[in-house]
Amino acid sequence: MSLPAMVVNHRIEVDGIDLFYREAGPKNASVILLLHGFPSSSHQFRELMPVLAVKYRVLAPDYPGFGFTEVPESRKYEFTTANVVQTVEAFLNALNVKSFAIYLHDFGAPVGLRLAMKRPNAITAYIVQNGNIYEEGWSSYWDSVRLWWTNADPNLRSSLINNLQPPHIKGLWQAGAKEGQVVSPETYTLDSALLTLPGRFDALMDLFFDHRTNVAIYPEFQKFVRESKAPFIIFWGSKDPVFVPAGADAYKRDIPNVKVKHLNSGHFLLETHLDEIAPDIMEFLGHHL
């Protein structure tokens, strides 16, 4: 009897942080790095990892401020994208990972592309899922955040925290569910529970505020994508309340022959449409890894 690949949980001390990550697949296989989005963690990849691990070594870390990664107060960690990239890089160094394919979801897109710009020859292939780097991709979801960027009003910060309550998190996970489909309740329940841990909302708000620095370098991301020799494939949920489908099609401007697949799904399409994209991912990786 053939059993699915086992996902193993680990902790590792890197960058002064107790970093939690999930791993699956043969140790000597080509590596795929899975970078999660807001407001989740490596948990969002729990169903995809056994599929990929049949052939590949799959690594999925929790960023500082997310999931089960623990940041000592004495570390005085500043929650910026640049620092998250530094932590992910330290994680790769600790595991001696030199070359890898990368999965970019949501916040994982700026994290992964900043990492790629530091290590342009390390990444062998890009899988982008609702990972926006274009103005066209913005939805009204960001209006209050972008207003906050212009004046750093503490009241706006407080109102954003008030919006990130369990019903909102649940809505993000359930967006785009198929008719009659029940999205696993542990997803949004876990995310909401972890957000109540000390310092988590502050970390998330710091990263939201810092996200303006990613928007400022969108042209650099786009230039990098345009000049990259590694292949890309793009998946996007058409019902994503965070980033609209135009963000997917904008990649075609810089990668004319890229495959862009729109699905009748939302922000977390692995939760609702894994059966539709996992075969495409495996085919894509089979051609390019």
Peptide bond into 39 cis (omega under 30): yes
Domain ranges of the chain: 7-287
pLDDT of residue 184: 96
pLDDT digits (tens, 9 = 90+) for 204-260: 999 999 999 999 999 999 999 999 999 999 999 999 999 999 999 999 999 999 999
Residue found under tokens 């909401």: 192
- According to the model, what pLDDT value does residue 289 have? 83
**Domain 7-287 adopts which CATH fold?**
Rossmann fold (3.40.50)
H or E stretch at 227: helix 218-227
For residue 192, the surrounding DSSP H or E stretch is helix 185-195
Give me the pLDDT at residue 1, please: 56
Instruction: Report the pLDDT value the prediction gives residue 47, as an integer from 0 to 100.
Output: 96
Within the chain, which residues score under 70 in pLDDT? 1-3
Active-site choice (267, 273, 287, 288): 267
pTM of the predicted structure, to 2 decimals? 0.97
Beta strands in the chain (DSSP E): 8-14, 17-24, 31-35, 57-61, 100-105, 123-129, 232-237, 259-263
Helix (H) or strand (E) holding 191: helix 185-195
288 is catalytic: no
